[in-house]
Amino acid sequence: MELLKAAGRFFLNPLFYIILLFSVLLGYVRVKRERRDFRVRVDEGLTELRNVLRESWPYAAVLSVLIAAAGLAVPKGWLVLFCAAMLIAVLSFQFALGSPVYAAGAALVVYWLLGHYRVNSDIPLLGWTYGGMTEDVAFTVPLIAGMLLIAEGLLIRRRAAEDASPLLLKTARGLKGAAYRTQRLWLLPVLFVVPGKAIAEWLPYWPQITLGESSFALVFIPVVIGFRQTAKHRMPESLYPGLGKAVLWTGILASAASFLSFWRMEAGWAVIAAAVIVRAAISIRAASAESKGNFAVSPRSEGVTVAAVLPGSPADKMGILPGETIRKVNGVTVKDERELYDAIQVNAAHCRVEVLNRDGELRLCQHVIFRHDHHRIGLLVIR
């Protein structure tokens, strides 16, 4: 019953509804950009909203079990500041700063500053009294931040490439090339353990757990993982798994290094500072590498370059991939978008496509076109 009550109060957190709203806004912005560049959108506008929790809830469940089973209690003041930091990142549209390790580090700094200048004073926020930067805080906060980094790395590695949205940018020669932008919010309802009776004093019916002489409250918090990255020099499926792996290992090392706080409390602060710096370096390095060099998908003289393929379309069923080049359609050589769609009409019932793959190898694709299929067979090409 206590867990059910804690889960019910999760829906009272305004951050939960703000995340849902901004997920809808992300979908709207993406669809608008895709229609501007290609006159058609790839996925419907509510895709980001549907995936905001569906992709991340297994990680949230594992984290909640680990945190509760290990009794990793965090100060209520830090938890409030942690939510505030995530809220600021979402409201400012700074999704590149949406890694939870940034929010955890910022909350820890503000928590120390507020306590440093108001020691032994009540801070009028849910009845919070500063409890000091104890050894428990030096261990639990870096450990939880590391665990959240692990979840972030897994999400980036497995999901970021799927959510990449095509956009057209100018190349160095003044032509248009295709880049792929992933801009996402993931929501993790994570169970936190908060010591003391401060919450109960503000909310008398909040569930409490008593172990010996200590009281603890269970609180579900909507942890936000924001991600924004653009792949230009490499394809998303080449860039994002490596980036996610780097974030994953950063989280693993930070989680392991948090145990150094038992040796010296300052080691815990050094661990979370190092995790913030390394996470920022990963993003900066990836952005710098993608800003240089040629476009992975750019116009070719051999034919029409594919920027994206609509899911479930005839082109998707034929196995055509972004970055490939269409040389012939129904036996007709094509050099631009108009010639491509004129050639499709040569045989509107059965489409045969000659394709150069990303390695320059030639292959033949064919598919029966039905009346309900997309009139452009689902191809988004570079114009």
Q: What angle do CA 124, 19, 196 make, to 5 degrees?
A: 35
Q: Which of 115-119, 261-265, 270-274 has the lowest mean pLDDT?
A: 115-119
Query: Model pTM greater than 0.75?
Result: yes
Q: Which of 54-58, 125-129, 191-195 has the lowest mean pLDDT?
A: 125-129
The torsion angles phi and psi of 303, rounded to 5 degrees, stand at 170, -145
Tens of pLDDT, residue by residue over 187-212, are 999 988 877 544 444 444 444 444 44
By the 8 A CB rule, do 311 and 320 touch?
A: no
DSSP class of residue 369? Answer: P
By the 8 A CB rule, do 357 and 363 touch?
A: yes
Nearest-angstrom CA–CA distance, 67 and 221: 12
When the pLDDT of each residue in the chain is averaged and rounded to a whole number, the result is 84
Mean pLDDT on 136-163: 92
Residue 342 half-sphere exposure toward CB, CA atoms < 13 A? 8
Nearest-angstrom CA–CA distance, 220 and 206: 12
| 261 vs 145, residue with greater confidence | 145
How far does Cα 350 stand from its chain's mean position? 40
Q: Which of 344, 330, 350 is nearest to 381 (CA)?
A: 344
Domains and CATH numbers, the chain: 2-291 (no CATH), 304-381 (2.30.42.10)
Please state, as a whole number, how many other Cβ atoms lie within 10 Å of the Cβ of residue 153: 23
pLDDT reading at 53 higher than 80: yes
Where is mean pLDDT largest: 82-91, 245-254, 319-328? 245-254
Nearest-angstrom CA–CA distance, 317 and 311: 9
Please state, as a whole number, how many other Cβ atoms lie within 10 Å of the Cβ of residue 202: 13
What are the residues facing 305 on neighbouring strands? 325
Tens of pLDDT, residue by residue over 329-361, are 888 898 888 888 888 887 767 788 899 988 888
Within 8 A by CB and 6+ apart from 299, the residues are: 175, 176, 177, 305, 382
Mean pLDDT on 360-369: 85
Q: Give the pLDDT band (50/70/90) at residue 275.
A: very high
Q: Give the pLDDT band (50/70/90) at residue 217.
A: confident
Nearest-angstrom CA–CA distance, 139 and 260: 8
Nearest-angstrom CA–CA distance, 357 and 321: 8
pLDDT of amino acid 214: 53
What are the residues facing 220 on neighbouring strands? 191
